[in-house]
Amino acid sequence: MPTNMISSPQAAPLQFPPFSLTRLLRTVFEPKGGERVCILIDLKDPREIQGFKFLEQPELTIQRKAHDVFYQGLRNEGLFELHLKGGEMFAYEITGGSNLDLPEKAYSTDGRELSLVDDVLRNYDIVLCISTFSATAPLTAYAKQIGFRGATLHGVNDVILSSGLSVDYNEVSVQAEKLRLGVTNADAVEIDYVVENLRCTLRLELSGQDAQKSHGLCRGGPDVANLPAGEVYFVPTGAEGRFPLKYEDGTIGLMHVTGGRIGQATLISGRAQTVAEHNDKLTSDPVTGELGELGFGTQRLPVSGRDIQDEKILGTLHVATGRSDHLGGGLTPDRFASKKNATHDDILFSPSKTPEINVPQVRMFRGGQIEILIENFEPSAYFLRLLEA
């Protein structure tokens, strides 16, 4: 064990209370009596929400959770216990990418074609989006325009329900704030990587900005919580260096970063064509390589197999490429050469997601001081002292 490490809290048994929809909604939103709530799902053919026809497709596990746990939960008890109104479910056509803008149309369970904005979002106070692909960025933009609050819960599965959505988000918020204060106003962060026999470093410039937190509470003005929550994050102001990226097919490429963007990818292992296709995208639409986020997990959670939870685990880290407007950054969808490329894609580094890639050390530079944050996917003594304070 490295000398600056102490026993990781992840070694302790993890226990969570049974999932309760009413407890989750009460804690996250503190809803007021009479507020209207609805559920959004995404479907390849959104017309199949009519009469809940999509439930005939066993592969649609996320959408079934939306129906069985959230829709039925509201109908059976949630609306009454929380003094809410509504509870309707609507579907929109699946976007095909993380945080892409949403389609104009939505469909109701009685088969009506609707305007997603005018007929749905404008008529509800709380919107729960339970989808295949994250809709946090576009829904956040709509929330600020229209005035609703919401939560995005893409990729929900049984592990997430029984752990990441069963935690006390008051406590999650407290713990996230402790880590946020420990890294806020950082000048830069350096991440060391080892993959096969290659060692490389990525330096992200942060320019002394305030760190932000995703903590699961959405009780004030218009906003959207991304659940499960539990991270602190920055929008980098620049980046230089190299880092490995594991593509969906298992290919590993080396990203060459300059001026805050991935300019080129080279092959480390796997399929050369995968890297070539990435380079074509970087050439035709250069902003797709812009590094728009650096995030650190703050929670003790089990691995779920979904990035939405696994990036919230203490000791993991992620960088993201693409749009950053929902995080306070300046990369908006209109700056992409193609709308289909205007995604925000998290690149998670963790023992479960990237076992081929190690992160020996993550260092923070702040006010002339250097603090080690993570070593070998374990929180440093500095991080753990912050949490124990």
pTM above 0.75, yes or no: yes
Say whether both 157 and 214 belong to one domain.
Answer: no
Which two tokens mark 125? Answer: 């106070």
Q: What is the pLDDT of residue 9?
A: 42
Residues 222 and 305 in one domain: yes
254 and 265 in contact (C-beta within 8 Å)? yes
Residue 385's pLDDT is what? Answer: 97
Domain boundary among 162, 195, 224: 162
pLDDT band at residue 13 using 50, 70 and 90 as cut-offs = confident
65 and 94 assigned to the same domain: yes
Same domain, 187 and 146: no
- Domain for residue 251, yes or no? yes
pLDDT confidence band for 11 (50 / 70 / 90): low
Q: What is the pLDDT of residues 53-107, one digit of tens each?
A: 999 999 999 999 999 999 999 999 889 999 999 999 999 999 999 999 999 999 9
Q: Which of 162, 190, 218 is the last residue of a domain?
A: 162
On whether both 146 and 181 belong to a single domain, the answer is no
Q: Where are the beta strands (DSSP E) in the chain?
A: 36-43, 85-93, 105-108, 113-115, 126-129, 149-152, 188-195, 198-205, 212-214, 223-226, 231-234, 238-246, 252-258, 261-269, 291-297, 317-322, 344-349, 357-366, 369-375, 378-379
**Angle 381-388/169-183 helices, nearest 10 degrees?**
130
Coil, strand or helix at 316: coil
Query: Are 44 and 103 a contacting pair, CB within 8 Å?
Result: no
Same domain, 173 and 158: no
Report the pLDDT value the prediction gives residue 372, as an integer from 0 to 100: 98
What tokens were used for 209? 């900005």
Tell whether 27 and 65 lie within a shared domain. Answer: yes
Task: State which residues form the domain around 204.
Answer: 169-388
Tell me the pLDDT band of 12, cut-offs 50, 70 and 90: low
Element of type H or E holding 118: none
Q: Which of 143, 162, 181 is the last residue of a domain?
A: 162
- In this structure, is residue 276 part of a structural domain? yes
| Same domain? 192 vs 226 | yes
Are residues 216 and 300 both part of a single domain? yes
- Based on the domain organization, do 306 and 333 belong to the same domain? yes
Specify the number of domains making up the chain: 2
Write out pLDDT tens, residues 332-373. Answer: 999 999 999 999 999 999 999 999 999 999 999 999 999 999
Do 187 and 134 share a domain, yes or no? no
Residue-level pLDDT at 6: 33
Cα(284)–Cα(191) distance, integer angstroms: 28
